[in-house]
A and B are shown apart, each in its own frame.
Chain A
Amino acid sequence: MEWERKIAQWRSEGVIDTETAERIQAFETRQPKKRKLPLLLIIGLIFFALAVFSFIAANWQAIPAIAKVGMVVVLMWIFYILAHFSEKKRFGHPVIFRILGYVMFWASLIVTGQTFHLGTGSSIVPWALFIAAIAHFFIWRHSAFTVLAFISGITILSSAAPGIGLIEWLLFIAVTLVWFFLSKDGLAMIFSWLLLFGSGLLVWSIWDIESPLVPIWTLFALTLLLLLIPQDKQRLLSPLYLLVGGIQLIVFLAIRGESDMAFAELTMLEAIALAIAGAAVLALAYFRERHVMWLGVLGLVGFMLYDETAIVLAIAAELTALAYLIIAQRQDQPLALGFVYFIVVQFVIYVIYAWERLDMSLFFLIGALLLFALSGIAWWLNRKKEGAVT
């Protein structure tokens, strides 16, 4: 064997002594030998499986309905049994077999739906997959099931959006809240938070309202969660609040700057209510998680939307971006999020106000890019020079 040859070589060269060589030999001999399946057997099994699947596919219409569903359910069980033995005998990855088991559950529902002509508008399949993924997560606590639960949650939201009822909506929020509070896992909290935010947007279709401020109301409602979660989780979620808040401000700036917003219904009463809610969010954030205080700015968006030129929104976006960067730098906090926000704000403002004068603005843009490249080269040369001195 390769290691025996190496040990002999090291011993002859004096790299290791005889005692060490014997100890290595004894250790390696004790190790369990890996049993490998012969290559021909693997190829044979693959071809056999392909033949079985081809036979089933060719006779799919002739197979009785119950047998079609039964076959996929049996496959699902095979993967769960494989997961059990994978854990017990320590081969492969049990979680992959469980994911495949879950995928087979999805396949069995698809086959049932197709065989019995389940309506495409039905949300029963996404609901079953959502609950199953959350249950998998709570039993095995693996992040793969967090992702699966998130995908199926998004499917419920998108499939239910045109005609979701109040009860189904409340049920979705209740299940997602349970997942949020009981998960105790960062990734699961982030994904469940995103689903809660998505469910807030369904208010548009449930009550058929035309207010453009629904996303801000949803974000403000979600700040109440800060009252109910421990401090470490508040820290974890605060960048998410800022990220979604920043995106909202930019989207409002882009929409107001590029359209007359005739499709939306603005009322002064709602703008005043939003400003009051914004002040309440500011106070809540001051006492619970000060990083989230920036959301208070969104409370003024109701008033800002009355400005047809979108200048006020642009100033608000620009000032928040600059102020965030300055404060974050003074407090020695990460700047990446603020920097990306700053760049996007500049880009949106550029598109809104300089697009029609593209020839002129392109001239300045190329000049700015050249300056940027030159300063980059100067910085790199300076760094290299400093490195050479030290």
Chain B
Amino acid sequence: MKKWLMPALQTAFVALLVVSFYATSWFGEHYVLRAEPFDPFDPFYGEYVMLQYPDLEAPAGISDGAIYFTLTEGEDGYAVIGRIEENPFFGAINGSKYDRRIVAPQLENFYVEQGHGPELEEAVDLEVTIDVAPWGSIRPVSIAPRKE
């Protein structure tokens, strides 16, 4: 039986990973973020758009390094920082702050169809739709040029 152990465990692991992403959408909330791209290429994953978020800025008094935050919908419909702490709390997104800008590992890049990256880079003003689970994990759902 041990010869089937590895494929079974590996399948279970991949399934768990996939379910964790779907669970973020099933139980999470929908947010749309303003985003700006820069466009690199990963030899294994393919083409993706690196993103930064002009609305995600830390208030004064928060020092650089690891931070924990939640999102809330702003008056114009785009997400902004809700609560931000230097210590972890339940439901927080793990991120880091550097020079007022806030980034989270799961928000940094969005994989796109081959050849689609430069097109989004030219558009500059983008919007990214994400799902945020109650436990703080993120699932990027879509990316498109912003209509403002």
Which residues of A pack against B, CB within 8 Å?
Answer: 61, 65-66, 69, 73, 76-77, 80, 83-84, 101-102, 105, 108-110, 112-122, 124, 128, 132, 135-136, 139, 163
Chain A neighbourhood of B42, CB < 8 A: 120
Q: Which 9 A-B pairs have the closest CB atoms?
A: A119-B105, A116-B21, A117-B140, A80-B7, A105-B10, A121-B105, A114-B111, A114-B45, A119-B106
Q: Is B109 an interface residue (CB 8 A)?
A: yes
Q: CA separation between A65 and B104, bound complex, in Å? A: 23
Q: Is B5 in the interface zone, CB < 8 Å from A? A: yes
Chain B residues positioned under 8 Å from A73 (CB to CB): 11, 14
Chain A residue numbers with a CB within 8 Å of B34 are none
Interface check B147, CB cutoff 8 A: no
Measured CB to CB, the closest approach of chain B to A160, in angstroms, equals 12
**Least Cβ–Cβ distance between B96 and chain A, in angstroms:** 8
Size of the B side of the interface (Cβ < 8 Å), in residues, is 31
Q: Which residues of B contact A66 (CB under 8 A)?
A: 18
A109 touches B4 (CB 8 A): no
With A and B bound together, what is the CA distance between A110 and B7 in angstroms?
16
B75 at the interface (CB under 8 A from A): no
Assuming the A-B contacts A73-B14, A109-B17, are A120 and B109 also in contact, with contact meaning beta carbons closer than 8 angstroms in the complex? yes
15 contacts between A and B (CB under 8 A): A66-B18, A101-B7, A108-B10, A109-B17, A112-B14, A114-B46, A117-B110, A117-B111, A119-B107, A119-B109, A120-B42, A120-B108, A121-B105, A135-B9, A136-B6
Given A84-B3, A114-B45, CB of A69 within 8 Å of CB of B108: no
Residues of chain A within 8 A (CB-CB) of B14 are 69, 73, 105, 108-109, 112
In addition to A114-B111, A119-B108, 8 A-B residue pairs with Cβ atoms within 8 Å of each other are A76-B10, A77-B7, A80-B6, A115-B111, A120-B109, A122-B105, A135-B6, A139-B3
